[in-house]
């Protein structure tokens, strides 16, 4: 039996597992439910179910016995942080080396195919993370929706709401965002929408999902919406720049990648890439692989090998 390696991307909506052999060939892939929290018995059971489900599916596809499989190395990255999950994983998995880490590290590893570089993640929130050739890492941002997450989806909607409040009260320019947001939120006024956003009817992901309206308005020529996207691009580029300054010498080559729903905006992405590439040495582009492939690469890294990945599922390319 060849040495086996496991990579798992544990997120807020789903969990993905990949099993590879020592040559880098992916033998099996599996999906499970969300596993970002383990607080309380219910959270622990949900977490264990997600891990066993996705690893079990990957084992089945690879022709392996999930109850008996042993991995030379396994890496699992989680959006909810790794600290409270290691003990549970040690009971569930047999692995010679077990790496339990953050979603930022596996996103970076996948995005740069294991090369030194920087990843900017902008979904509901935002964070930039990097690693240089010596293995040193650094981060910037990711401080949550109250104190940070600049340029993320929640922040884009927050800036849009501020703009329509100013429009409504007469101390800001008119914007098409007002009609669009009021319709989407079922509100009679910007003030009404503001109060709705404070209720449980609008959890953070729902508020963040309205960021798509900022992009739509900008594409239709609304200048207020365009400036909101430009400002977000500047904030995200500043996060990437802060990580670069901590890890790379001036002019030193560094791969800069991006991931997350905010970057679906053409206007924001074009401005972000242009700003990042102003820094000499930066090469900015989309991710090479997804986070689950990044976790698998980190499992190989833990074992001291660097194979080329082959037979990846389409979702990870």
pLDDT in tens, 237-252: 999 999 999 999 999 9
* 195 CB burial (10 A radius; 0-12, 13-18, 19+): exposed
Residue 262 pLDDT level (bands cut at 50, 70, 90): very high
Residue 161 pLDDT level (bands cut at 50, 70, 90): very high
- Going from the C-alpha of 164 to that of each of 31, 149, 192, 225, the distances in angstroms are 41, 21, 12, 10
Question: Has residue 40 got a pLDDT over 70?
Answer: no
Residue 36 pLDDT level (bands cut at 50, 70, 90): low
Q: Which residue has the higher pLDDT, 317 or 117?
A: 117
User: What pLDDT score was predicted for residue 38?
Assistant: 59
User: What pLDDT score was predicted for residue 271?
Assistant: 97
Beta bridge partners of 4: 21
| Average pLDDT over the chain, rounded to an integer | 91
User: What pLDDT score was predicted for residue 160?
Assistant: 96
Q: Which of 57, 31, 35, 58 is nearest to 46 (CA)?
A: 35
User: What pLDDT score was predicted for residue 37?
Assistant: 63
The secondary structure element, H or E, covering residue 41 is: helix 40-62
With tokens 């219910």, the residue in question is: 42
Give dist(CA 73, CA 95) in Å, integer.
Answer: 5
User: What pLDDT score was predicted for residue 11?
Assistant: 76
DSSP 117-157: EEEEEESSSEEEEEE-TTS-EEEEE--HHHH--TTSHHHHH
Q: At what angle do helices 153-169 and 190-197 cross, to 10 degrees?
A: 150
Cβ distance 257 to 286 under 8 Å?
yes
Average pLDDT over residues 177-202: 91
Give dist(CA 57, CA 18) in Å, integer.
Answer: 10
Cβ distance 35 to 15 under 8 Å?
yes
**Parallel, antiparallel or unpaired: strands 95-102 and 282-285:** unpaired
Cβ distance 216 to 207 under 8 Å?
no
Q: Which of 240, 254, 250, 308 is nearest to 132 (CA)?
A: 254
With tokens 């082959």, the residue in question is: 310
User: What pLDDT score was predicted for residue 10?
Assistant: 85
pLDDT tens digit sequence for 269-285: 999 999 999 999 999 99
Q: Which of 164, 152, 146, 163 is nearest to 208 (CA)?
A: 152
User: What pLDDT score was predicted for residue 317?
Assistant: 67
DSSP 218-277: HHTT-HHHHHHHHHHHHHHHHHHHHHHHHHS-TT--EEEEEESGGGG-HHHHHHHHHHHT
Average pLDDT over residues 185-207: 90
Q: Which of 7, 4, 64 is nearest to 313 (CA)?
A: 7
pLDDT tens digit sequence for 75-90: 999 876 677 788 888 8
Give dist(CA 111, CA 107) in Å, integer.
Answer: 6
């Amino acid at each position: 039996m060849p040495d086996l390696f496991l990579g798992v991307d544990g997120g807020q909506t789903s969990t993905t597992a990949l099993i590879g052999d020592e040559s880098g060939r992916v033998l099996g892939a599996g999906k499970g439910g969300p596993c970002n929290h383990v607080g309380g018995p219910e959270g622990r059971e949900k977490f264990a179910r997600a891990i066993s489900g996705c690893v079990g599916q990957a084992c089945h596809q690879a022709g392996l016995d999930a109850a008996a499989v042993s991995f030379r190395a396994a890496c699992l990255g989680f959006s909810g942080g790794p600290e409270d999950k290691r003990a549970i994983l040690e009971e569930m998995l047999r692995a010679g080396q077990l790496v339990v880490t953050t979603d930022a590290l596996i996103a970076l590893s996948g995005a740069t195919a294991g090369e030194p570089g920087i990843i900017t993640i902008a979904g509901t929130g935002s964070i930039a993370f990097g690693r240089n050739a010596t293995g040193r890492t650094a981060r910037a941002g990711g401080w949550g929706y109250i104190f940070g997450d600049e340029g993320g989806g929640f922040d884009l909607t927050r800036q849009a709401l501020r703009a329509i409040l100013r429009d409504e009260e007469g101390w800001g320019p008119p914007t098409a965002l007002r009609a669009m947001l009021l319709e989407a939120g079922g509100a009679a006024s910007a003030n009404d929408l503001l109060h709705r956003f404070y209720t449980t009817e609008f959890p953070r992901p729902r508020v963040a999902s309205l960021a798509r309206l900022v992009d739509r308005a900008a594409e239709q020529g609304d200048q207020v919406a365009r400036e909101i996207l430009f400002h977000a691009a500047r904030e995200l580029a500043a996060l990437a720049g802060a990580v670069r300054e901590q890890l790379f010498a001036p002019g030193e080559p560094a791969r800069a990648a991006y991931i997350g729903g905010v970057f679906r905006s053409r206007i924001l992405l074009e401005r972000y890439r242009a700003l990042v590439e102003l820094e000499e040495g930066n090469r900015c582009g989309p991710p090479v692989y997804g986070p689950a492939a990044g976790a698998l690469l980190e499992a190989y890294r833990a074992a001291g090998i660097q194979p080329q990945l082959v037979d990846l599922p389409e979702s990870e390319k």
